[in-house]
Amino acid sequence: MDVGAVGRSPLPEYRDIPGFCKSATIEEIRKHGYVLTPGCYVGVEIKEEDKEPFDEKMRRLVAQWCEQQAESAKLDAAIKSNL
């Protein structure tokens, strides 16, 4: 594998990703009493706010769930008949 110029890595540069990974300093680790539980450091992923009103979203999700339950029943019946 050719890494190009001396000292350059073919890998992307590291960056902290909230909720996934963080490069903690020894000072941060010391402040947490040397606890190495990832949750102390990585934090939580920042999610985009959901703009869909709750009532509409709930109706949509319940309808989708009902459709999936009906499809599940059909598939269960097909499996049962094949056995």
Query: Is-above-0.75 flag for pTM?
Result: no
Report CA dihedral (32, 38, 42, 47) to the nearest 10 degrees.
-130
**Contact between residue 31 and residue 51 where contact means Cβ atoms under 8 Å apart:** no
More confident residue, 33 or 7: 33
14: β partners:
none
d(Cα 64, Cα 27) in Å, to the nearest integer?
A: 49
Residue-wise pLDDT for 53-70, tens only, equals 999 999 999 999 999 999
* Contact (CB, 8 A) for 22 and 16: yes
